[in-house]
Amino acid sequence: MNDSNINMSGEDHGTPKTVFIDRDGVINRDSPDYIKTRAEFHFLPGSLEAFRLLSEHRYTAIVITNQSVIGRNLTTPEELQLIFEMMKQDIVKAGGLVTDILFCPHTPSDHCQCRKPQPGMIFDAREKYSIDLATSVMIGDSVKDILCAENAGVGRAVLVKTGNGLKAHAELSARGISPDYLAEDLLDAVRWIISNDGIYDREH
Ligand SMILES: [Mg+2]
């Protein structure tokens, strides 16, 4: 394995870069009925490998997710935490790492500062981990994710075609907004980020 903080030109990247990742429709299959139980959580193909690659290349992975399923009383905070724990354990078993999971429990009518596209969760993460947002990347499947990246000053935004991605792409296009990359899925998004940063070892 190469030293992931050194790119092809030998330049030292210093602090690992941060990748903010939406959950539903990106990491796991989304559902119009929300993900309310551990039994309803299913990883999308390639997600676990994506987290493994991020770890191998020493990126910090932080999950940023709207979970109005709490505000709508469709599940309990305890079950949501159990879903997160199960997800993290499976990612660790596959060789990846999730540094943190930030979630917004509110509904749109709460008018909070954390529900994406508001930048609150990204700002909380920046505060907690001293993140340089300009070098960070957001990966999401919805218009809200892409606008959140823009609102927070996250350097790059990647839209995946999984989940609501294709619908979001059409809506963003109509508004004249294009993500930095339209990825097939989370694994393609991660490969693009690593490759784009010039530190992707193509033998992997
Ligand atoms: Mg989503």
* Token reading at 140: 């999401």
Please tell me the distance from the alpha carbon of residue 154 to that of residue 106, in angstroms, as a whole number: 23
**Number of domains making up the chain:** 1
Please tell me the distance from the alpha carbon of residue 45 to that of residue 187, in angstroms, as a whole number: 8
Is 201 within a domain? no
The CA 66 to ligand 1 mean position distance, Å, reads 8
* Token reading at 164: 């609501």
pLDDT one digit per residue (tens) for the chain, 204 residues = 344 444 444 445 555 799 999 999 999 999 999 999 999 999 999 999 999 999 999 999 999 999 999 999 999 999 999 999 999 999 999 999 999 999 999 999 999 999 999 999 999 999 999 999 999 999 999 999 999 999 999 999 999 999 999 999 999 999 999 999 999 999 999 999 999 886 433 333
Is 134 within a domain? yes
The CA 90 to ligand 1 mean position distance, Å, reads 19
Please tell me the distance from the alpha carbon of residue 140 to that of residue 160, in angstroms, as a whole number: 6
Please tell me the distance from the alpha carbon of residue 116 to that of residue 60, in angstroms, as a whole number: 20
24 is catalytic: yes
Is 128 within a domain? yes
Is 91 within a domain? yes
CATH code of the domain in which 40 resides: 3.40.50.1000
The CA 64 to ligand 1 mean position distance, Å, reads 10
Please tell me the distance from the alpha carbon of residue 42 to that of residue 100, in angstroms, as a whole number: 20
Is 80 within a domain? yes
Structural domain boundaries enclosing 39: 18-196
Strands (E), 5-133: 18-21, 60-66, 100-104
Is 204 within a domain? no
Cis before 179 (ω within 30): no
Return phi, psi of residue 21, to 5°: -130, 125
| Length of the chain measured in residues | 204
